[in-house]
Chains A and B, each alone.
Chain A
């Protein structure tokens, strides 16, 4: 067997050099084949993903404005973030803080105690510095969110685009998951017409979000929409969802849900189809009820898929912009505005730096929440199985 890098020389003297060079190159390529194959992908990622990411991060520390033949850039440090978190845009990003109510304090204190207990419990078990640091970040973020909600939503104050986005993501996607799972469960049962329902439930996913937003705007029109007679019959003729913050938020969530429940449905149906029939039938023979079968046999088998599908939806949910933009333009006031929409409206007025600052805030919030969910829910659950 010939050793690597030691080719056997059998070529004529005249072609020795070129042959050896060719052979060396071939070996070099051989040795670096993995890197060479990966290089195009890495290059593309660097050019189209990493570079914009770094460039937009740098922009957040500047004031940048187009001028003839280029851009005028001025370094302003953390001024854009200061404006967002403590300055004139604080109400827009976080909300207004006009005193914390009792309910708000309860939320803050309960969360603080829960997070301290969680960290304490971890430190008493298999303590590792990296693990503790990760948990500390998650606990701090959770406490921060609790303070944000405690000081705004639970104290009767107006809240900004971060809390609103979190509501769309955490609450909206949870409801979508429950409904999607319920529908998938029903369609996995041997009921009449289930093939028809499988197709019908899937259709909304194929419609563009802007189309869905216009469709719901028309459906929910209280003067000319199809439900107007019903609306008037119920004595709600003078109530307009578009003028009421709570109702407007609800309508956006309904439209978003209508679009994304099919996604939950399809994935969860596929997961349910893979559940072992033998185990289910054995449990039925043993006299187990449907709820117990679902909790103890079905759920443990579909949980990893459920966790993943929720994670995907959360990541997608953080980018919600088209539906509130079409249905309400973010109104009434800024009641239905999301972080992505906040960033977009800044960009639209050529405030590129302000827009980037909002986008980076969104990135940090989304990464902490999604990574925490992955590490402490999905992965933990996978280890248990």
Chain B
């Protein structure tokens, strides 16, 4: 009976919500929404800012709770699974949501979304609408931030040394050799062609996929890079990832000496001070550069670099691209932009009070709506990056934020290039994602970069440890979800 009541409530609440019309003052008086996110001002500062505005509009009080990035998933999982329910909603990586959904902890937002014209769902680009927000075809999250890696380069530095922006990794090394050690910011110190965050237990494991994907995935998003979609075994070892590892390590020759002990904050401080010529980063680089007198509007951007040599899964060798092997190649170059992290996304505790669920949904819908988000993504401090078509098309907001027309065009074109690429690589979004990547991959990658092990050992160790995690969670279940995240049928 209780279950039936809950189900009926689940069906009727969205309709009641719609019947109640748009947000208005006093609508949620007395309701408090406790939202968990990372330490501010990035992300949580923006949630807090919009929360105050939402309070003025509806009366709902939004309290933002902050925890270090590495503690976020544990907190949400234990709080919701053990019935503490001290958190009503979370703004974290969308990659963690499938595990929470699998445990029945996240509110299904499908009906809310389907009946929310203010959300302008069709304006959200396909990857974020269909992959990032959904699990098994149902919507569980609302995207607040479009995260994927792009390649950034200093236009002034490349011009000064007569270099063209590279499109492949081979070209990248040629440019790096030509410009490394030169002074880019006029302080008399030699600067770095490349800056990459490689410190252990930070976010280095994202970047290695951004580098390696071009060598691994050629036939579209459904091919995937992490597992064999037919056998469920890890895709490693393979010559594509081996090449990615080699390139990633080799990049260090053109970077700071202490790169292995630098996290993303260290790298951002360096490139905002004008000391880096090329970086692999999320969409924050150009908006952040607006805050720097040294590099404002000096960053060009493109989709992640590609390769003319790719892994042929039939022969298990690196081979030259051809129309059969690389159907999505551009001028013979295979690009595979990686949806690193997936973006900060909002989701709601299924066991929260129905009124709070309703208020939380309206709050995130308010944040996600173009009227708010199209402004937020232009502000570097928010940490939010574009994910709506209108954000790519409407250049005025970017000009207003301080972009020049040229730099805004370069930045947005890079984004559009990436998101419209049919060979876009989806991040790992299955239960145990944290163990597969931030523990196993991260540790082995750190050992490889430190010179403890070679490419073959690195891949063998990762594959062995991944198999243990897969067996632990159950191969059938894992592969069903993995295939779903690639847009494939659950069974094979």
Chain B contacts with A in 434-470, Cβ cutoff 8 A: 434-435, 438-439, 443, 446-452, 461, 464-465, 468
Whether B468 lies near A88 (C-beta < 8 A) is: yes
Does residue B9 face the partner (Cβ distance < 8 Å to A)? no
**A242 touching B468 by the CB < 8 A rule?**
no
Report B195 CB to chain A, min CB distance, Å: 12
Contact check, B434 vs A350: say whether CB atoms are below 8 A apart: yes
B111 at the interface (CB under 8 A from A): no
Beyond A223-B258, A243-B258, A348-B70, is A331–B450 a contact (Cβ under 8 Å)? Answer: yes
A346 to B257, CA, bound (A): 30
Known contacts A333-B446, A333-B449; is-contact A222 B258 (Cβ 8 Å): yes
B103 CB within 8 Å of chain A: yes
Assess whether A67 is in contact with B103, with CB atoms less than 8 Å apart.
Answer: yes
A375 CA / B104 CA spacing, docked (Å): 54
**Nearest-Cβ distance from residue A237 to partner chain B, whole angstroms:** 8
Size of the chain B interface, CB-CB below 8 angstroms: 41
Contact B82 A70 (CB under 8 A): yes
Q: Given known contacts A240-B261, A242-B258, A242-B261, is B81 in contact with A66 (CB within 8 Å)?
A: yes
Q: Whole-angstrom distance from the CB of A344 to the nearest CB of chain B?
A: 10
Are A333 and B452 in touch, CB under 8 angstroms?
Answer: yes
CA distance A349 to B465 in the complex (A): 14
A158-B454 Cα distance, complex, nearest whole Å: 13
Chain A residues within 8 Å of B449, by CB:
332-333
Distance in Å: Cβ of A342 to nearest Cβ of chain B: 10
Whether the pair A243, B259 counts as a contact (CB closer than 8 A) is yes
Q: Evaluate contact between A330 and B201: CB separation under 8 angstroms.
A: yes
Residues of B within 8 A of A331 (CB): 199-201, 260-261, 446, 450
Instruction: Report the Cα distance A130→B461, complex, angstroms.
Output: 44
Q: List chain A residues, Cβ under 8 A from B448.
A: 333
> Provided the pairs A332-B200, A333-B449 are in contact, do residues A66 and B260 lie with their beta carbons within 8 angstroms?
no
Among B248-300, those with CB < 8 Å from A are 256-262
Contacting residues, chain B, for A126 (C-beta < 8 A): none
Q: Is A68 an interface residue (CB 8 A)?
A: yes
A170 at the interface (CB under 8 A from B): no
A335 in contact with B261 (CB, 8 Å): no
Asked if B325 is an interface residue, CB under 8 A from chain A, the answer is no
Q: Which A residues are in CB contact (< 8 Å) with B78?
A: 66
Which of A305-363 touch B at CB < 8 Å?
A: 328-335, 345-346, 348-351
Q: Out of B201, B256, B257, B450, which one reaches A335, CB within 8 Å?
A: B450
Contact of B257 among A240, A330, A332, A334 (CB under 8 A): A240
Interface residue? A238 (CB, 8 A): yes
Complex CA distance for A237 and B70, rounded to whole angstroms: 33
Query: What total of chain A residues lie within 8 Å of the partner, measured CB to CB?
Result: 37
Q: Is A40 an interface residue (CB 8 A)?
A: no
Checking B439, B452, B472 against A63 with a beta-carbon cut-off of 8 angstroms, the contacting residue is B472
- Residues of B within 8 Å of A96, CB to CB, are 452
Q: Which residues of A contact B468 (CB under 8 A)?
A: 83, 88
Q: Which one of B77, B438, B450 has the highest number of Cβ atoms from chain A below 10 Å of its Cβ?
A: B450
Q: Which residues of chain B are near A91, meaning CB under 8 Å?
A: 461
A66 close to B447 (CB less than 8 A): no
Given A67-B103, A240-B258, A328-B261, A334 and B447 contact (CB-CB distance below 8 Å): yes
Collect the chain A residues with CB atoms within 8 Å of residue B70's CB.
Answer: 348
CA distance A237 to B464 in the complex (A): 39
Contact A68 B104 (CB under 8 A): yes
- The contact of B256 among A67, A223, A329, A349, by CB within 8 Å, is A223
Interface pair B260/A243, CB less than 8 Å apart = yes
Bound state CA distance, A334 and B443, in angstroms? Answer: 7
With a cutoff of 8 Å between Cβ atoms, the chain A residues found around residue B262 in the complex are 242
In the assembly, what is the distance between CA of A91 and CA of B444, in Å?
Answer: 11
Q: Do the beta carbons of B81 and A69 come within 8 Å of each other?
A: yes
Could you show 21 A-B contacts with beta carbons less than 8 Å apart?
A: A68-B80, A69-B81, A88-B465, A158-B447, A222-B257, A223-B258, A243-B260, A243-B450, A245-B450, A329-B200, A332-B260, A333-B200, A333-B446, A333-B447, A333-B448, A334-B200, A334-B443, A335-B450, A348-B439, A349-B438, A350-B74
Given contacts A68-B104, A248-B261, 15 further A-B contacts (CB under 8 A): A68-B81, A68-B103, A96-B452, A240-B261, A328-B200, A329-B199, A329-B201, A330-B200, A331-B200, A331-B260, A331-B261, A332-B449, A334-B446, A348-B70, A350-B74
List 7 A-B pairs, minimum CB-CB distance, nearest first.
A242-B261, A240-B258, A333-B450, A331-B200, A332-B450, A333-B447, A240-B257
